[in-house]
Amino acid sequence: MNLWVLIGIAVMVGGFVLRVNPLVVVLAAALATGLAAGMDLLAVIAAFGKAFNDTRYVSVVWIVLPVIGLMERQGLQERARTLVSGLKGATLPRLLTGYLLLRQATAALGLTSIAGHAQTVRPLVAPMAEAAAQPQDQDEADQIKAMAAATDNVGLFFGEDIFIAIGSILLMKGFMEQQGIVLAPFDLSVWAIPTAIAAFAIHSLRLWRFGRRRG
């Protein structure tokens, strides 16, 4: 019995005790286990690829995140702030209302992963909102960032239910069928449109009031 294959556990425990990045710890533990089991490096990497391709548990967004991080390091947020600062009439309510409309529209088409907190809010929307609002202190800056994140949440939550193949629509369809009510996914998605319009109007009003309080 080859007990060296258990070395991955020791690597994980040691990595977490030393507070190393969890992704690096798990990767190192998997490599150590594979090599200890007699697999060569290419075989271990191939096993990673096969597991990813078979299960697809890892969302594409996590592959994009390193690219976003690299762009941030090269000054993406500063570029976004500079862009908005040079636009006349760019206010916080107008900027976030436009993003809300874009987020709802793309979510309604099923494109839920092309935007989000990590992909757009942190590197682009929040810095642009700060540049448009020009906060006076850190507390005010945090409120602006929170409003940018909330705008993304509202746009996604009330926009995705319009898409007929989203999980929530399919869940409601299944529940209705259990109660003897047969509905097509399209029927449910159509009824999500008035809710999405109301959510857009209400949050737009919130953004307008937030901007007015600051003014």
pLDDT in tens, 86-136: 777 778 899 999 999 999 999 998 888 888 888 889 888 988 898 888 888
For 93, half-sphere exposure in the C-beta direction (CA atoms, 13 angstrom radius) is 16
Among candidates 172, 162, 164, which has minimal Cα distance to 195? 162
Structure token digits, residue 80: 């976004």
CA distance 35 to 62: 26
First-to-last alpha carbon distance for the chain, in angstroms, is 72
Contact in structure between 117 and 147 (CB atoms under 8 Å):
no
**Whole-angstrom Cα distance, residue 151 to residue 160?**
14
All structural domains of the chain with their residue ranges: 3-55, 63-214
pLDDT tens-digit series, residues 168-186: 777 778 888 888 888 888 8
pLDDT given for residue 38 in this prediction: 83
Does the pLDDT at position 194 exceed 90? yes
Q: How does pLDDT run across 30-81, given as a tens digit for each residue?
A: 888 888 888 888 888 888 777 766 655 455 556 666 766 777 677 777 777 7
Which comes out higher in pLDDT, residue 58 or 7? 7
**Share of residues in the chain with pLDDT > 90 (%):** 25
* CA dist list (Å): 149 to 54, 83, 145, 152, 204: 33, 20, 6, 5, 14
Give the pLDDT band (50/70/90) at residue 199: very high
In the block, which residue shows the tokens 């705008």?
151
Residue that is written with structure tokens 């996914």 in the block: 185
Distance CA 100, CA 188 (A): 22
Q: Environment class of residue 206 by beta-carbon count within 10 Å: exposed (0-12), middle (13-18) or buried (19+)? A: middle
pTM for this model (two decimals): 0.64
